[in-house]
Chain A
Amino acid sequence: MQQTPTFNLSPQELEIIVENSPTLIWKSNPDKSIAYFSNSWLEFRGRTFEEEMINGWQDGVHPDDIEACLESYFDHFDRREPFDIKYRLKRHDGVYRWILDKGTPHYNDNGRFIGYFGYCFDITDWIHTQEIIEQKNSTHRLMLQLASSFINVPLNDLDEAISKALADFGRHFKVDRSYIFDYNWDKRTCTNTYEWCAEGIEPQIQNLEDVSFDDLSGWEKHHRVGAKTQIIDVSQLSPDKAAVKALLEAQDIKSLITLPLMNQGFCIGFIGFDSVKSVRTFTKDEEDLLILFAEMLVNIYKRKKADQDLIQQKELAELGRKELEEAKSVASLGNWHLDLKSGIVTWSKELFKMFGLDPVGNPPSFPKQEKLFSPESWRLLKQKVVLAQKRQIPYEVELNFIRADQSKGWMWAKGYSEVDENNKLIGLKGIAQDITKRKELEIQLKQSKARYAEVAKRLQVASASAGFGIFEWDIQNDDAIWDDRMFSLYDIIEHECSNIHDAWVNRIHPEDRKAVQSAIDCALENGDEIKVSYRIIRSDGRICFIKSYGHILRNLQKLPLRMIGVSMDVTRAKLHQRHLEVKNKQLVDFSNVLAHNLRAPIVNIELLADLIDQSRSSEEAQEYKGQLRSVLGHLNEVFDELMESIKIRQDLDVESKEMKLQDEVEKVLKDFKEEIEENGVSLSFDLDKGDSIKYPPEYLSSILHNLISNALKFRSPNRSLNLGIKAHQEHQDLVLAVTDNGLGLDMRLAKDNLFKMRKVFHKHPEARGFGLFLTKTQVEAMDGEIWVESEVNKGSTFYVRFKNAVE
């Protein structure tokens, strides 16, 4: 750049122009240090001249650019050549901007070098635009290249083309791995079919065969409806995605995106792109491209599939033709003729073939045909032929014939007499057909029918002795046949129901219907046997446990035709089992009580005895003896309670009596009369006067006593007690509810312990932890249930179900 005296501007005018120009301007000393920065430079940098002068400006150059920047600057400077340098310079707000710095050497009037002038332009936006254009160009090139290669590629090279496309795409998007998975919706798996990896990245394809949907954390559900899945940062996955997180981390994946391969609304697989080295996001444009790529892949897949189908169809067509030929030759009819005058027999070639004889020779005469049939069939044939001759009766028979190789077959033959114009018999003629295959199937069918009849018969015999019902269900026509026991088992009256199957379904407990139906569906689908247990509700509301076994009969096409089987009532066994479970649990509880409650006082006695031995004064010994007494009292108490509970458990044959619940409640309340009056307890009842209960009187009285006494004992000191006693009937059971507004229980703490022995939940001095234990024992001894609903400081409701206590 030369001086610009041509413009004839004053130095002041020049200064105004320079200082107001948006261009950043600098001037250097001959020693390369900077002597001047324009205001625009200092404003851009947000620094003072003192900070920027000499070499201070170098602080603002991006660390990655500074070396190249200075090298280029010094190099040009030494050679006194003008330069263009691109580098990033930090703006006052801390953002680096791309700068194009144009420097020119400057000389004074005497031609002496006095330094460089520089002009800088912010070219950041321009650079970005360039990058985007470059990216777009590259994308277009890529897509064009893919499209043309996919269109032209021969079928055999498709695999290679797909692999190359994955590689091109992977490189273009700067990911570390790109791949394709095929879905198998029946097996609920997917398999990695193609994979490309960037250099240094571990391939995974061999580890990813038949990956279960369980490990995909629901990707398949997204893909199925055409949606992508994306994980921006695998390490941030929530704990419920542990399976997929483990799968991805095993492959070092940081980010990934997958897109479904959709063929006419059906998802056949997906493509995916992994980032292993760093976390990677995708812009909308990039995603659009990926979708386009997926569509192209689907087209390729379709082409491949169509080509394969075509080949298969050709093969099928070939196979069909062969089968038809075979069928024709098997089914083809043969003709025969017998001239009665000459005795000459003629056969068509199909007959020779049927007997396995050479069609070139002559057929054997009629008498010589004896060896062609089984003795029985030969007798039959002779008989028919004689009748046809004598009385001109046409015949149709099935014959057991013997081929030349001595193998046997079945033949259908028809014969009739031949007369001349004078109605005189001149011969016999007819047709014959090989029916060996059909006959064999018929025999098989007959045998299996006989076998089933046998099974059914045996079942009937067994059922009569074992007390179960037999059913047969015609699946195709939805028609069922039941024996009498089935009807009584399910409490269905035969002439009142129009469809047995529907009536049966209606009897099944609603909670079990789904399970039964799916067991049936599953058996019909691919089994030959079904075993299912379920509950039924009889018309009187009684619940019974039923076990059904069924056997499915199928035709040759494996279509289920009928199901035969048995149903039996297993209620008694079931109840017995449940009873045993309860007993067993009680036994465990009991051992627990022994370990904790009985051992504790014994330990104390042992320790106190030691202390008495060691005591140094008689006063001290006396004190321990006092304590020993209180422990013994406690031990006695625990022991008595244990005995009482054991008594109930042994009292299996305790006698029930019919009582009025109202009367019994009133009797118990009398015991608490004073306490009720003193504390102003308000009572409310909802007991139907007619409600009578059948129960052991001692138990009922004890249960009521305990529940009412608890309500009184644990009343709130802050309010007067409202005590409610209600009862209602549920089927055969009576459900009692005792409600109070007392201290209540923290159900989280009480949980299963509430009804255990010596478990107390109040700091109440009278809380002993025996009443509820005893109550529960008395309720369960009669197959009932006890449970509680409670809230701290609101109150409690204790429920008791008296099993089968209502007549």
Chain B
Amino acid sequence: MKEVERLFLVDDDHIFLMIMKRMIIQTDAVESVDSFENGSDILEYLKANLSKPDALPEIILLDLNMPIMDGWQFLDAYREIQDQLARNIRIYILSSSNFEEDIRRAVEYPMVTEYLVKPLDPEKLQEILQRG
């Protein structure tokens, strides 16, 4: 059994997704990694699997700047469904923005565990995965 069963990446940048997946697989601490291209896609997924703990991730790494539904809008929508989720999910913001305004705004969401600025170094990733 690995440290983390499921981890979701939410980002519209395909190259970054590819690199992140690679990094995560290298840690050998995650059973399965899935990715979503925007907030709306993952929201639909969560809504469809509210009561299935096995289908839900333990960790979500969330980008902010995305088409259709951005990270902020996802957090707002997540707040509405959070109580119905069968699993406790840790959400990390993983954004290229090191803008103080964004960081301050993100930590005001109680469900956001931490704000991480891209690129994420492997030790930090390790630490997050061990935390569970």
Contact assessment for B69 and A762 in the assembled complex, using a CB-CB cutoff below 8 Å = no
Q: Tell me, in angstroms, the Cα distance from A596 to B13 when the chains sit together.
A: 12
Distance (Å) between the CB of A61 and the closest chain B CB?
50
Contact assessment for A595 and B102 in the assembled complex, using a CB-CB cutoff below 8 Å = yes
The B-contacting residues of A in range 759-807, CB under 8 angstroms, are 759-763, 767, 769
Closest to A758 in B: B65
Q: What chain B residues lie within 8 Å of A592 (beta carbons)? A: 97, 99, 101
Contact assessment for B16 and A600 in the assembled complex, using a CB-CB cutoff below 8 Å = yes
Let me know if B51 is at the binding interface, CB within 8 A. Answer: no
Let me know if B119 is at the binding interface, CB within 8 A. Answer: yes
- How many inter-chain contacts with C-beta < 8 Å in the A-B complex? 65
Question: Which of A596, A630, A767, A769 has most chain B Cβ within 10 Å?
Answer: A596
Closest to B67 in A: A760
The B-contacting residues of A in range 602-616, CB under 8 angstroms, are 602-604, 606-608, 611
Partner of B68, one of A591, A608, A627, A749: A749
Distance (Å) between the CB of B71 and the closest chain A CB?
10
Contact assessment for A603 and B70 in the assembled complex, using a CB-CB cutoff below 8 Å = no
Tell me whether chain B's interface is mostly helix, strand or loop, or mixed.
Answer: loop
0/1 interface trace, chain A 573-616, chain B, CB 8 Å (1 if under): 00000000000000000011001110110111011100100000
Q: Tell me, in angstroms, the Cα distance from A247 to B101 when the chains sit together.
A: 39
Contact assessment for B97 and A749 in the assembled complex, using a CB-CB cutoff below 8 Å = no
Closest to B39 in A: A749
Q: What chain A residues lie within 8 Å of B70 (beta carbons)? A: 753, 759
Let me know if A42 is at the binding interface, CB within 8 A. Answer: no
Q: What chain B residues lie within 8 Å of A763 (beta carbons)? A: 67-68
Q: What chain B residues lie within 8 Å of A630 (beta carbons)? A: 15
Q: Tell me, in angstroms, the Cα distance from A606 to B16 when the chains sit together.
A: 11
Partner of A604, one of B13, B67, B73: B13
Partner of A596, one of B40, B68, B97: B97
Contact assessment for A607 and B119 in the assembled complex, using a CB-CB cutoff below 8 Å = yes
Q: What chain B residues lie within 8 Å of A762 (beta carbons)? A: 67-68
Closest to B70 in A: A753
Q: How many A residues have CB within 8 A of the partner chain? A: 27
The B-contacting residues of A in range 714-740, CB under 8 angstroms, are none
Question: Which of B15, B67, B68, B69 has most chain A Cβ within 10 Å?
Answer: B15
Contact assessment for B67 and A600 in the assembled complex, using a CB-CB cutoff below 8 Å = no
Q: What chain A residues lie within 8 Å of B99 (beta carbons)? A: 591-592, 595-596
Closest to B122 in A: A610
Q: Tell me, in angstroms, the Cα distance from A762 to B12 when the chains sit together.
A: 13
Distance (Å) between the CB of A56 and the closest chain B CB?
52
Let me know if A747 is at the binding interface, CB within 8 A. Answer: no
Q: What chain B residues lie within 8 Å of A597 (beta carbons)? A: 65
Let me know if A631 is at the binding interface, CB within 8 A. Answer: yes
Let me know if B19 is at the binding interface, CB within 8 A. Answer: yes
CB within 8 Å for A600 and B68 given contacts A591-B99, A606-B119: no
The A-contacting residues of B in range 34-83, CB under 8 angstroms, are 40, 64-65, 67-70, 73
Contact assessment for A759 and B102 in the assembled complex, using a CB-CB cutoff below 8 Å = no
Q: What chain A residues lie within 8 Å of B118 (beta carbons)? A: 599-600, 603
Contact assessment for B119 and A600 in the assembled complex, using a CB-CB cutoff below 8 Å = no
Contact assessment for A600 and B13 in the assembled complex, using a CB-CB cutoff below 8 Å = yes
Q: What chain A residues lie within 8 Å of B69 (beta carbons)? A: 749
CB within 8 Å for A599 and B15 given contacts A606-B119, A753-B70, A758-B65: no
Q: What chain A residues lie within 8 Å of B95 (beta carbons)? A: 596
Distance (Å) between the CB of B75 and the closest chain A CB?
13
Distance (Å) between the CB of A798 and the closest chain B CB?
19
The A-contacting residues of B in range 74-129, CB under 8 angstroms, are 95-99, 101-102, 118-119
Closest to A751 in B: B73
Q: What chain B residues lie within 8 Å of A627 (beta carbons)? A: 15, 18
Partner of B65, one of A600, A608, A611: A600
Contact assessment for B13 and A761 in the assembled complex, using a CB-CB cutoff below 8 Å = no
Partner of A595, one of B18, B73, B96: B96
Contact assessment for B67 and A761 in the assembled complex, using a CB-CB cutoff below 8 Å = yes
Contact assessment for A599 and B19 in the assembled complex, using a CB-CB cutoff below 8 Å = no
Q: What chain A residues lie within 8 Å of B22 (beta carbons)? A: 611
Distance (Å) between the CB of A174 and the closest chain B CB?
43
Q: Tell me, in angstroms, the Cα distance from A608 to B18 when the chains sit together.
A: 10
0/1 interface trace, chain B 8-29, chain A, CB 8 Å (1 if under): 0000010110110010000000
Distance (Å) between the CB of B64 and the closest chain A CB?
7
Question: Which of B16, B70, B96, B102 has most chain A Cβ within 10 Å?
Answer: B96
Q: What chain B residues lie within 8 Å of A749 (beta carbons)? A: 40, 68-69, 73
Q: What chain B residues lie within 8 Å of A767 (beta carbons)? A: 67
Contact assessment for B65 and A596 in the assembled complex, using a CB-CB cutoff below 8 Å = yes
Closest to B64 in A: A596
Q: What chain A residues lie within 8 Å of B65 (beta carbons)? A: 596-597, 600, 758-759
Q: What chain A residues lie within 8 Å of B102 (beta carbons)? A: 595
Q: Tell me, in angstroms, the Cα distance from A758 to B97 when the chains sit together.
A: 14
Contact assessment for A599 and B67 in the assembled complex, using a CB-CB cutoff below 8 Å = no
Distance (Å) between the CB of B63 and the closest chain A CB?
9
Q: What chain B residues lie within 8 Å of A602 (beta carbons)? A: 96
Q: Tell me, in angstroms, the Cα distance from A595 to B40 when the chains sit together.
A: 23
0/1 interface trace, chain A 293-326, chain B, CB 8 Å (1 if under): 0000000000000000000000000000000000
Closest to A606 in B: B119
The B-contacting residues of A in range 15-58, CB under 8 angstroms, are none
Contact assessment for B68 and A603 in the assembled complex, using a CB-CB cutoff below 8 Å = no
Closest to A631 in B: B15
Contact assessment for B73 and A600 in the assembled complex, using a CB-CB cutoff below 8 Å = no
CB within 8 Å for A608 and B19 given contacts A597-B65, A603-B119, A758-B65: yes
Q: Tell me, in angstroms, the Cα distance from A602 to B96 when the chains sit together.
A: 9
Distance (Å) between the CB of A586 and the closest chain B CB?
15
Q: Tell me, in angstroms, the Cα distance from A489 to B69 when the chains sit together.
A: 50
Closest to A588 in B: B101
Distance (Å) between the CB of B20 and the closest chain A CB?
9
Q: What chain B residues lie within 8 Å of A603 (beta carbons)? A: 16, 96, 118-119
Q: What chain B residues lie within 8 Å of A758 (beta carbons)? A: 65
Contact assessment for B67 and A759 in the assembled complex, using a CB-CB cutoff below 8 Å = yes
Contact assessment for B16 and A604 in the assembled complex, using a CB-CB cutoff below 8 Å = yes
Contact assessment for A611 and B119 in the assembled complex, using a CB-CB cutoff below 8 Å = no
Contact assessment for B119 and A599 in the assembled complex, using a CB-CB cutoff below 8 Å = no
Q: What chain A residues lie within 8 Å of B64 (beta carbons)? A: 596
Contact assessment for B68 and A761 in the assembled complex, using a CB-CB cutoff below 8 Å = yes
Closest to A627 in B: B15
Distance (Å) between the CB of A606 and the closest chain B CB?
6
Question: Which of A607, A611, A762 has most chain B Cβ within 10 Å?
Answer: A607
Distance (Å) between the CB of A630 and the closest chain B CB?
7
Distance (Å) between the CB of A391 and the closest chain B CB?
96
Q: Tell me, in angstroms, the Cα distance from A767 to B12 when the chains sit together.
A: 13
Q: Tell me, in angstroms, the Cα distance from A591 to B22 when the chains sit together.
A: 31
Q: What chain B residues lie within 8 Å of A611 (beta carbons)? A: 19, 22
Q: Tell me, in angstroms, the Cα distance from A631 to B16 when the chains sit together.
A: 10
Q: What chain B residues lie within 8 Å of A753 (beta carbons)? A: 70
Q: Tell me, in angstroms, the Cα distance from A599 to B13 when the chains sit together.
A: 12
Distance (Å) between the CB of A714 and the closest chain B CB?
13
Distance (Å) between the CB of A743 and the closest chain B CB?
12
The residues of B with any CB-CB pair to A shorter than 8 Å are 13, 15-16, 18-19, 22, 40, 64-65, 67-70, 73, 95-99, 101-102, 118-119
Enumerate 30 A-B pairs (CB-CB under 8 Å) in ascending A order.
Answer: A592-B99, A592-B101, A595-B96, A595-B99, A596-B65, A596-B95, A596-B96, A596-B99, A599-B96, A599-B97, A600-B13, A600-B16, A600-B65, A600-B118, A603-B16, A604-B13, A604-B15, A604-B19, A606-B119, A607-B16, A608-B15, A611-B19, A749-B73, A753-B70, A759-B65, A760-B67, A760-B68, A761-B68, A762-B67, A767-B67
With A595-B99, A603-B118, A630-B15 already in contact, 20 other A-B pairs whose C-beta atoms are closer than 8 Å: A591-B99, A592-B97, A592-B101, A595-B102, A596-B95, A599-B118, A600-B16, A602-B96, A603-B96, A604-B19, A607-B119, A608-B15, A608-B19, A631-B15, A749-B68, A749-B73, A758-B65, A759-B67, A763-B67, A769-B67
Give 4 closest A-B pairs by Cβ, nearest first. Answer: A760-B67, A595-B97, A600-B96, A595-B99
The residues of A with any CB-CB pair to B shorter than 8 Å are 591-592, 595-597, 599-600, 602-604, 606-608, 611, 627, 630-631, 749, 753, 758-763, 767, 769
